Structure 1
Amino acid sequence: MSTVSWITLRGLFGRRRFLLLLPLPLLLVLLAVLSRSLGVDADDWGPPVLVGLGLAVVLPVVALIVGTGVLGAEIDDGTVVHILTKPLPRWQIVLPKLAVAAGVSAVTVAVPLFVAGRLADSVRLGLSLAAASAVGALAYSALFLALSLLTRRPVLLGLVYVLIWEGLLSSFVSGTRVLSIQQYVIALADRLAPTELLHGDVSVPVAAVMTALISVGFTVLAVDRLRSFSVAGETS
């Protein structure tokens, strides 16, 4: 498993798509620093920067780029054949790749969210945002990793989920928020550091249970789907 993790990390950091991870987190920190330095009230800039940008855009987009790349890119260029020919149970391939995807996504997003949360309110808020975003990174990564095995357009479907389901529909149809990872992250962060800057629409128990179900469910689905791949890298 450590070999698979190392190969995944080397492949991820060796691709140009990794550079796509940098602009959004840097923009998040820049806006927070700029707002704080200009003396703008945290109640005015906190929600749009922390939630509107940080949790609604930076977290899912980073997880989408990484989650669809740790295995999807290998499927596209055919190098997945080298992994599939190894005498490894499929879960020993999926779990290390999920761990890398979740870990890279969590670090990339948690650090700028901590900085922004600290500038907006306190260290406690920064830590709660970092912790909740790490949990969200795991759920998003499991979802997007599974999508990379289920369809040839994982990025497109991932964007549909993030922009249409979590963004547009959740704003008008309250029922869709129960199936929104973004809402789970907000609820968990608000529970760890209650603040007026965060307004969750689902309860903490629902957020915790649904996050676990999504993480485990899509991981199991990814393992099962990978079993259907032939040595040629095509589904049987």
Structure 2
Amino acid sequence: MWITARGLFGRRRFLLLLPLPALVILLAVLCRSLGVAPSNWAPPVLIALGLAVVLPVVALIVGTGVLGSEIDDGTIVHVLSKPLPRWQIVLPKLVVAVGVTALTVAVPLYVAGVLAESVRLGLALAAASALGALAYSTFFVALSLVTRRPVLLGLVYVLVWEGLLGNFVSGTRVLSIQQYVITFADRIAATPLFDGQVSVTVSAIMTVVIAVAFTLLAIDRLRSFSVAGETS
């Protein structure tokens, strides 16, 4: 975990995590200072930007970096040469990915939620973003082991599946992590500012299924890597 965290914070890609969360706080402070009604700015800032853009993009950057960067630069060879079960390699990296993503997104969303309505809304957004970080991170870590273009495919999922189809085709919402996160936030906060489109039961079950399934996929996929760093 320490090696993963040190490698992640030492790379330039970590700087990409900062602008979007800062933008959420900046917009919230600006709208609050100008006296704009929360019903006018909270949904686009908290949901359309915070949960629909900042959360998945941060998870994508971090999730594809904890293992994908080691595969790209060849340092995965040193990791695979250790006499460790593959799950002992994958799980610590997932913990780092989920932790960094959750912390990076939850803090600005909490601040923005407090500015929009109340501490309860801030806590709801923070808790929902942490659950979303779990689902997104396991998905993107597994994606980095399945394809050589995890960032591109991750963006396709976020922009096309969740951003486009998820807003216009109701059937796709059942397979949208974004919808689960919105449902969690809506249920915890009980606010009229936004409304979840998927039931809490489905959201909870699918979050667990995604986290477990893609963790197992990542472990299985890592087993197929040889010491030379190539897949068998």
Please confirm whether the aligned pair reaches a TM-score higher than 0.5, indicating the same fold. yes
Distance in 1 between residues matched to 2:189 and 2:14, nearest whole Å: 31
Deviation at 1:172, TM superposition (A): 1.2
Which one of the candidate residues 166, 169, 193 is aligned to 1:170? 166
TM-score (norm 1): 0.98
Please state how far the C-alpha of 1:197 moved relative to its aligned partner: 1.2
CA RMSD of aligned residues (A): 0.4
* Structure 2 Cα separation of the partners of residues 22 and 227 of structure 1: 34
Match of 2:142 among 139, 142, 146: 146
Q: 2:48 maps to which residue?
A: 52
Report sequence identity in percent.
Answer: 78
Q: Count residues with an aligned counterpart.
A: 232
Q: Partner residue of 1:119?
A: 115
2:63 to 56, 62, 67: 67
CA distance in 2, matches of 1:198, 1:76: 41
Unmatched 5+ residue regions in structure 2? none
Q: Which residue of 2 aligns with 1:203?
A: 199
TM-score (norm 2): 0.99
Match of 1:108 in 2: 104
Q: Tell me the CA shift for residue 224 of structure 1.
A: 0.2
Hey, what's the Cα distance between the residues in 1 that align with 2:180 and 2:105? 16
| Structure 1 unmatched runs, 5+ | none
1:190 aligns with 2:186: yes
Partner SS, residue 230 of structure 2: coil
1:20 matched residue in structure 2: 16
Equivalent position of 2:39 in the other structure: 43
* Equivalent of 1:233 in 212, 229, 232: 229
Return the alpha-carbon distance in structure 1 between the equivalents of residues 212 and 193 of structure 2: 30
Query: How many Å separate the matches in 1 of 2:195 and 2:231?
Result: 43
Letter in 2 for 1:58: V
- What corresponds to 1:85 in structure 2? 81
Matching of residue 212 in structure 1 with residue 208 in structure 2? yes
Aligned residue number for residue 7 of structure 2: 11
Which consecutive aligned stretches of 4+ in structure 1 deviate over 4 angstroms post-superposition? none
Measure how far apart 1:199 and its partner are.
1.1
CA distance in 1 between partners of 2:11 and 2:115 (Å): 33
Match of 2:179, as an amino acid?
Answer: Q
